[in-house]
């Protein structure tokens, strides 16, 4: 009988925990994303699209657009640029190499762990390989937590099949309630 009680309590706990994970934080595309206090105020140079509310689905954007979730976190992925990997990069041959600048502004009430950021890229229906290349400032996401009111910027690079056909999924996984963002050319 004690084993049955233990199983029932475990199932009940799992049910409550999983239902809490299903809640979402919605947000919108920003016309003028906020700047963090560690960077001078600048007007945004990239175009942004009209605000929208996507409470539980991934949000689709063009590269260069910004998105702000309801908790005050803003993410922008720049338009891609071609680059040539250095001789010291660990990468296999690709048709093209694209680099992107990721910018996160934290206007939420908690620090963000950007080290948990998830990024994948697809090009011509093929998974792209991420390039780590310190000579090109492609070293992965920051390991320092991003405090409230601050901004962080880093670069990522990928070996792609076609630089005109790129789809990037990015998720700030410190909070699973925020939907992923899907950027595409």
pTM: 0.70
Domains of the chain, residue spans? 25-184
**Would you state the pLDDT for residue 33?**
56
Contact 72, 88 (CB under 8 A): no
**Would you state the pLDDT for residue 34?**
54
Could you give the C-alpha distances from 178 to 56, 64, 181, in angstroms and in order? 8, 20, 9
Contact 76, 66 (CB under 8 A): yes
Angstrom distance (rounded) from CA 154 to CA 170? 13
Contact 32, 20 (CB under 8 A): no
The domain 25-184 having CATH identifier 2.60.40.1240: the answer here is yes
- Report the DSSP pairing between strands 181-184 and 59-62: parallel
Contact 119, 172 (CB under 8 A): no
Q: What is the mean pLDDT of each run of 10 residues along the chain (185 residues)?
A: 42 39 51 48 39 60 96 96 91 91 96 94 95 93 95 97 96 84 95
């Amino acid at each position: 009988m004690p084993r049955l009680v233990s199983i029932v309590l475990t199932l009940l706990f799992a049910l409550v925990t999983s239902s809490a994970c299903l809640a979402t934080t919605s947000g919108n595309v920003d016309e003028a994303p906020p700047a963090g206090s560690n960077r001078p105020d600048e007007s945004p140079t990239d175009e942004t699209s009209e605000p929208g509310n996507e409470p539980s689905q991934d949000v689709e954007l063009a590269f260069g657009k910004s998105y702000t979730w309801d908790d005050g976190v803003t993410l922008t992925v720049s338009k891609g640029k071609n680059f040539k990997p250095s001789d010291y990069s660990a990468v296999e041959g690709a048709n093209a190499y694209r680099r992107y600048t990721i910018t996160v502004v934290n206007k939420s009430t908690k620090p963000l762990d950007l080290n948990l950021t998830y990024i994948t890229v697809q090009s011509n229906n093929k998974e792209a390989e991420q390039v780590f290349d310190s000579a090109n400032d492609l070293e992965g996401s920051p390991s320092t937590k991003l405090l409230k009111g601050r901004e962080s910027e880093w670069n990522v690079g990928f070996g792609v099949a076609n630089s005109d056909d790129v789809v990037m999924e990015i998720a700030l996984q410190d909070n699973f309630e925020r939907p992923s963002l899907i950027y595409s050319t």
